Structure 1
């Protein structure tokens, strides 16, 4: 069997040397070398699966005992040896190999010439590099040993726009490759597009809500209905965030959350509706965090609840690292008479860190020489003496 493996590899190498798939040529070269260097275990009726898993695959004794029950039918090391050579040819480390086998012991039973090598060929033809192929094996070994993985990868590459985004999503949701494209994934994608979501939105939603593409379409419809119910219409720029916000909330929990926001921020029904429509992720914020921001903005900064309701993005920033430090800077500058006109607090919070430094820190190096270091300290959670106002 091992000689046959080498013969097939040599044949494929001679073919790929004249083809444009040079990464495969290197892969098969490495696999052939690994096969030649692999320790040969003579076939025997007394082949010990557990011992092989420990000695050749690097599994712990406990892992080997668990894994052996799934491949107890193996009576010879020939096929597992070929699979280990294949994995070595992909460049997987011994730790990666052990992880793959522990996760999917049946990977050792996959046909290298019949399945694994052709899958590599077809993925390379789609533009998936050999290093990405190796990553795919480690993320979803049980799916990789099926030829249908190629058509699924092809679909997701087209949907997400790049292999980088595909692997980013796959890293969070390996069930993408186990779900039916025709019955589950494609209907979900079509519905999300009808709701106005583009490819980038679908990627972002897939990262925050791992099950979104692989769940029953009925669940996605219900999720969209909950998003609409909080006042965010389909097709709006905030609909993706609204779906993300309600993904793990029932209608009852949403109602409770809205009441909490009204109480904490002293909002009317109309004001909470305005705020959530503009910033749906308010529904996903922790109550204690929202409470502390509310108290600071209303009691210390002196903002009116209605002002905050129309500018709810204020509540998305860190109180410790942004809201409070910038307020202290403005207050100090006002006390020193260095601000020549009232500044809208919302605009000072929303601008980038670079712009804030250019507008409010750097111009006052002489009049307030310690302002930069005090601001930096405040951003670290400290309260410098010069920021302790009476």
Structure 2
């Protein structure tokens, strides 16, 4: 009877087909009950489906925004911002991203540092955790980087995740070790620069520039100091470096044996001859001779590092207002490195008050108290609290007001001093 019905519906042709059809039906029932029991088991034991790669692979991709909020506790607004600037909007699976976060934790990064890294380079969540990320982190850890230093390196150099370990990272480290002599120096240079921008060509340039410095006659310790202080400047065009070496010695008159030579070199590398000449002309306008200027630069090369307006303001205050001579300023060259508004003028005001009250027996000079650290200068003022109870408060208030108005630059330093001499 069943065979007749199935034939009429054209589902089977003979008894053999009927048997096959029956077996197929029973197999479907068996598979259904098996999958039902399978899913019931995992639900009852609270296994998340996302941990099962066959199932998670078929699920709808997870939005990056949701993952940032759930796994890293970003606010919705921050998560949207990070997702917007990233080329990654969805995560096909959270398994690899979870591995990335766990690897960061095993290398000593705290949740805040991990959030900073992910915020800087969200694509890290799609990096191959064990194959790509972990070997690179291991190399940096063996170098001596961990915790905040490691996090800082990764934030400044997000390209690290795209660079080959053996084609870019290791050769770069080996070159820096060879040039700098110690892992401590390598770490210092890495902390000051985006050193991983080194391509094969730039590493060749670095080697060539170091050879130039050596052939010029600079000692290795001076070269190492130059690289540690100026990791970007040692990457300039070799022709420019060679010309500036001659400029420092011949034009500025600073001997290559002088400790000031590499400091002067680091300054002139950033300026053209005409820019330096304009700054020298400002000194001449205040009665300085070329020999005076050259002597000042030998004592304090970073005078050239200041803007033209900064140099002009300082010379006006020191020469015109205070009456200092070039020879005195050369002997106190650090005057040109201090902030005029935030340090020199407020402390000069305190010095004037103390002198007017005749409270200074040994009369320290302005250069002396200008050289004090902030905490030491406050201790210096504390000695006069009995005679002038509010002296420290007046000083701190003056510095605070200077900081508030500095960006607006209302008037010259001289006019600012006149406005606040009544404090």
Provide, for residues 132-187 of structure 1, a one-character-per-residue CA deviation record: whole Å limited to 9, x for no partner. 66655554354444123124235436726426524412xx3245443557622233
Does 2:267 match 1:253? no
- SS of alignment partner, residue 213 of structure 1: helix
**Contact conserved, 2:267 with 2:301, CA < 8 A, in 1?**
yes
- Per the alignment, residue 140 of structure 1 pairs with 157
| d(CA) in 2 for partners of 1:381, 1:134 | 36
**Contact conserved, 1:179 with 1:214, CA < 8 A, in 2?**
no
Provide, for residues 235-283 of structure 1, a one-character-per-residue CA deviation record: whole Å limited to 9, x for no partner. 32222321222122111221122112322x3211111111122111111
| d(CA) in 2 for partners of 1:55, 1:381 | 46
| d(CA) in 2 for partners of 1:311, 1:248 | 25
| d(CA) in 1 for partners of 2:383, 2:147 | 53
Does 2:232 match 1:214? no
The Cα of 1:303 is off from its aligned counterpart by 1.7
- Per the alignment, residue 241 of structure 1 pairs with 263
| d(CA) in 2 for partners of 1:83, 1:173 | 26
- Tell me the TM-score normalised to structure 1 length: 0.66
**Contact conserved, 2:117 with 2:154, CA < 8 A, in 1?**
no
Higher relative contact order (CA 8 A, sep 6+): 1
- Per the alignment, residue 15 of structure 1 pairs with none
- SS of alignment partner, residue 64 of structure 1: coil
| d(CA) in 2 for partners of 1:134, 1:344 | 45
- Per the alignment, residue 231 of structure 1 pairs with 253
Does 2:403 match 1:365? no
Q: 2:87 aligns with which of 64, 67, 71?
A: 64
| d(CA) in 2 for partners of 1:167, 1:215 | 17
**Pairing of 1:1-390 with structure 2 (within 5 A):** 42=57, 60=83, 63-64=86-87, 82=96, 85-86=99-100, 89-91=103-105, 93=114, 96-97=117-118, 99-100=120-121, 113=131, 115-129=132-146, 136-144=153-161, 145-148=163-166, 149-156=169-176, 159=180, 161-162=183-184, 164-169=187-192, 172-180=193-201, 183-192=204-213, 194-196=217-219, 197=222, 199-206=224-231, 210=232, 212-228=233-249, 229-263=251-285, 265-340=286-361, 343-358=364-379, 361-381=381-401, 387-388=421-422
Paired residues, what number? 330
For the pair shown, the structure with the greater C-alpha radius of gyration is: 2
In structure 1, runs of 5+ residues without a counterpart are 1-34, 69-75
- Per the alignment, residue 19 of structure 2 pairs with none
**CA 1:218–1:341 in 2, change beyond 3 Å: closer, same or farther?**
same
The Cα of 1:205 is off from its aligned counterpart by 1.4
**Contact conserved, 2:297 with 2:303, CA < 8 A, in 1?**
yes
- Tell me the TM-score normalised to structure 2 length: 0.62
**Contact conserved, 2:206 with 2:235, CA < 8 A, in 1?**
yes
**Contact conserved, 1:82 with 1:112, CA < 8 A, in 2?**
no
The Cα of 1:384 is off from its aligned counterpart by 9.9
In structure 2, runs of 5+ residues without a counterpart are 1-49, 69-78, 106-112, 403-416
Using the TM superposition, name which of 234-243 and 121-130 deviates more: 121-130
**CA 1:109–1:352 in 2, change beyond 3 Å: closer, same or farther?**
closer
| d(CA) in 2 for partners of 1:296, 1:331 | 15
- Per the alignment, residue 32 of structure 2 pairs with none
| d(CA) in 1 for partners of 2:120, 2:138 | 24
Q: CA RMSD in A?
A: 4.3
- SS of alignment partner, residue 389 of structure 2: coil
Provide, for residues 78-113 of structure 1, a one-character-per-residue CA deviation record: whole Å limited to 9, x for no partner. 9x97587446533485774474355x9xx9586953
- SS of alignment partner, residue 235 of structure 2: coil
- SS of alignment partner, residue 340 of structure 1: coil
**CA 1:54–1:276 in 2, change beyond 3 Å: closer, same or farther?**
same
- SS of alignment partner, residue 380 of structure 1: helix
**Contact conserved, 1:87 with 1:97, CA < 8 A, in 2?**
no
- Per the alignment, residue 20 of structure 1 pairs with none
The Cα of 1:358 is off from its aligned counterpart by 5.0
